[in-house]
C-alpha cells in the first residue's frame, strides 16, 4: 500500500490517501467524462481529509446519492462518495502529488449504463 498526499489546484483542499493498487478507473458517465477524472476507489479508513468537509462545496445530481466535493475557490473535485458504492471514497488520481499515474493500469467502467 502506498500513501499519497493530494490537493486541489489552489491547495485549499488537502488530503492523504493509502492506495492498494496502481490502477485508475475511467468512467463513461456524464460527470466523470466531462471532468476527465481518473478514479481510484478506497475504503473510508484509507483517506484522511485535512480540510473540513463543510469548507468544501457539495454537488449532488440525478439520484442525489453521490456526493461530489470540490474546492469553492479553484473548482477542482479531488474526491467524491460514489452512488454505486457510497461506503467508499473515489479519489481523483489527477489530484495526487507525485503519483506516476500515466504508468498505472486503466480499467474502463460503463457508469453510463447504470440507472
Report how many domains make up the chain: 1
Q: Select from 72, 71, 81, 83 the least CA-distant residue to 6.
A: 71
Residue 38 in this model has a pLDDT that exceeds 90: yes
Instruction: Look up the CATH number of the domain holding residue 10.
Output: 2.170.150.70
Between CA 43 and CA 47 the distance in angstroms is: 7
What is the pLDDT at residue 115? 53
Picking from 22, 42, 2, the residue whose alpha carbon sits closest to that of residue 107 is 22
More confident residue, 115 or 78: 78
pLDDT for position 30:
81
**CA dist., res. 31 & res. 17, Å (int):** 23
Say if 84 falls within a structural domain. Answer: yes
Answer whether residue 57 is part of any domain.
yes
Largest CA distance in the chain: 35
Global confidence as pTM = 0.87
Average pLDDT, the chain: 90
pLDDT exceeds 70 at position 66: yes
Classify residue 114: in a domain, yes or no. Answer: no
Residue 61 is assigned to a structural domain of this protein: yes
Look at 93 and 82; give whichever has higher pLDDT.
93
Amino acid at each position: 500500500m502506498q500513501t499519497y498526499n493530494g490537493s486541489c489546484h489552489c491547495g485549499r483542499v488537502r488530503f492523504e490517501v493509502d492506495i492498494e493498487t496502481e490502477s485508475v478507473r475511467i468512467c463513461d458517465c456524464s460527470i466523470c467524462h466531462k471532468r476527465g477524472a481518473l478514479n481510484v476507489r478506497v475504503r473510508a479508513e484509507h483517506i484522511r481529509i485535512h480540510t473540513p468537509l463543510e469548507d468544501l462545496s457539495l454537488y449532488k445530481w440525478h439520484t442525489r446519492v453521490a456526493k461530489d466535493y470540490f474546492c469553492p475557490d479553484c473548482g477542482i473535485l479531488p474526491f467524491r462518495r460514489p452512488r454505486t458504492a457510497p461506503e467508499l471514497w473515489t479519489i481523483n488520481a489527477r489530484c495526487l502529488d507525485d503519483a506516476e499515474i500515466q504508468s498505472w493500469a486503466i480499467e474502463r467502467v460503463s457508469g453510463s449504463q447504470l440507472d
